[in-house]
Amino acid sequence: MSNAPINKASTNESPINEASNSSGNGFTDKQVQQVLLTLLLGGTVVSFSNSALNPAIPVFMSAFDVDIVMGGWVLNAYVLAMSVGLMLSGYLNKKFPFKHVYLAAIFGFMLGSVIGMLASSMSFVIIARAIQGLSGGLIIPLSIGMLYQIYPQKQHGRVMALWGIVIMMSLAFGPLVGAYLVEQFAWWTLFAITLPLSAAVMAMVWWLIPDMRSHDKKSPFDTIGFISLLIWLLTMMVWLSTLKVDFTGGLLSSDGLLKIATLGLLSIGFLLSAMVWWAYERRQKYPLLNVRLFNNKTYLHSNIISISQTVGLMLCLLLLPVVIQDVMGESALWTGIVLMVATLVASITTHYAGKMVDKQGARGIGIVGIAISALSTLMLAWCLYQPTLWLLMLIMSVRGIGVGLAYLPTTTVGFSSLPKDAVTEGAALNNISRRIISTIFITLSTLYIGSRSAQLLAAGSSDGMASSIQEILVVIAVILLFTIPSACKLPRSP
């Protein structure tokens, strides 16, 4: 790593151009720009691949003639493997140089793309997604940790806003590009399209990323914590997949009460086992996931907001296509357009919110953002009585403003409250918490929607699907409103 002197002449407020040497790592302006662009492109590869490929699960099911259980493992394998990557990211970041771990992660993502592109069966597709998930679980927290090290705290809001914009743009255009590739070419192009981007990232990492090493190489690996959490996650994923299948009989069947009782008992069992694991990790000097970071109240409350916003965002992304295509009978293209417009609005809002949080803190921005996202979710539920495309687009755009104000600024403040060498661990803990809780909540919500729709249909209602979705949206809005007290706990000033 270069020890070139700090260049203090730069005055541009852009994270790409502003000097960042005050971070204490001796980076020159040019190195900072190179690292930022490299990490942004790496994050784009992961996000674009997910947004383009996950909506195409029905295409894989048709191509390989498999049922929804096997098709669901395209997503489940990715989430499970990504959780493993998130668990390992903190340890690997301490044990090995950043450059080596990041190169291995990008190479792994490329390997997954090659296996997926050449897959001759659904099993190989699932293996490919698992490899990509493991790699993605390393890339995201490593990138965030590095950004927090090379930029001083006064620029964290802006640089994370830029990170958020790039990720959101990838999520916005991914489904449209994926749909075009599948329609015009074949499913394997969804894997092939990421290969040149991944190769470019590998070259940039090799030539542009300084060889930055950790000062803590003696941390032992928490084998017990890793194996126990992996078993817990695998068991939970299998159980959730089974729930989706068992539910096809509905809760109105003769064994409905037994299913409810079993669901309740298993839920309690999973919760208790998670609490035991949590208590074990808190006592470890070198934990797999540093849950003691939640002792930091700013980080804790920022994670509460982050998790609730992720749950709301993921459920809206899941339910909106159902509303547009199944309830309204419109084409999938309109789903992509509505989501793209909403994501673009969220990206623009995130850009300005990032600048605001550097100057004003996250408390006021977070409160306003949560209120807007909650109220717009209620508006979305209300508009399902007589939905129109333009009204959906307007409401989702308003919701994008709320997400842009509430999500990334509060998350940024949470990461900034941690020591710089703990940000990678904090990012991993944040990501795995969001993914586990949102996966559970989404599965239970789909179970409820299916049950409630069947019940309303049996009662003679013609809009059971829309009504059940409305009820879930109201629940989301209430959950979001309950996080306003957490926003009030965030610092008033940066």
Is residue 216 a part of any domain in this protein? Answer: no
Q: What is the pLDDT of residue 195?
A: 94
Q: What is the pLDDT of residue 7?
A: 37
Same domain, 174 and 293: no
Task: Give the tokens for residue 260.
Answer: 């409810």
Q: With H, G, I as helix, E, B as strand and everything else as coil, classify residue 59.
A: helix
Same domain, 186 and 230: no
Is residue 411 a part of any domain in this protein? Answer: yes
CA–CA separation, 307 vs 301, rounded Å?
10
Whether 3 contacts 24, CB under 8 Å: no
The owner of tokens 């309740």 is: 264
Residue 143 Cα distances to 56, 153, 460, angstroms: 27, 16, 53
The owner of tokens 């190169």 is: 103
Residue 385 phi/psi, 5-degree rounding, is -65, -40
Same domain, 383 and 412: yes
CA–CA separation, 336 vs 182, rounded Å?
14
Q: What is the pLDDT of residue 173?
A: 79
Q: What is the pLDDT of residue 202?
A: 93
Task: Give the tokens for residue 440.
Answer: 């559970």
Q: What is the pLDDT of residue 256?
A: 58
Same domain, 347 and 258: no
CA–CA separation, 184 vs 199, rounded Å?
24
Q: What is the pLDDT of residue 100?
A: 92
Q: With H, G, I as helix, E, B as strand and everything else as coil, classify residue 419.
A: coil
Same domain, 79 and 151: yes
Q: What is the pLDDT of residue 373?
A: 94
Same domain, 185 and 266: no
Q: Report DSSP state, residue 55.
A: G
Q: What is the pLDDT of residue 250?
A: 47
Q: pTM to 2 decimals?
A: 0.77
In angstroms and rounded to an integer, the radius of gyration of the C-alpha atoms of the chain is 22
Report the CATH number at residue 368: 1.20.1250.20
- Report the number of distinct structural domains present in the chain: 3
Same domain, 130 and 45: yes
Q: What is the pLDDT of residue 494?
A: 63
Within the chain, which residues score under 50 in pLDDT? 1-14, 16-24, 245-254
Dihedral sign of CA atoms 183, 187, 193, 198 in order: positive
Task: Give the tokens for residue 276.
Answer: 């035991």
Is residue 67 a part of any domain in this protein? Answer: yes
CA–CA separation, 3 vs 413, rounded Å?
29
CA–CA separation, 445 vs 269, rounded Å?
20
Same domain, 100 and 201: yes
Same domain, 450 and 330: yes
Q: What is the pLDDT of residue 178?
A: 80
Is residue 315 a part of any domain in this protein? Answer: yes
The C-alpha angle 144, 416, 488, rounded to 5 degrees, equals 125
The owner of tokens 């509905």 is: 250
Q: What is the pLDDT of residue 6?
A: 34
- What one-character-per-residue DSSP string does 255-275 give? THHHHHHHHHHHHHHHHHHHH
**What is the span of the domain harbouring residue 137?**
21-208
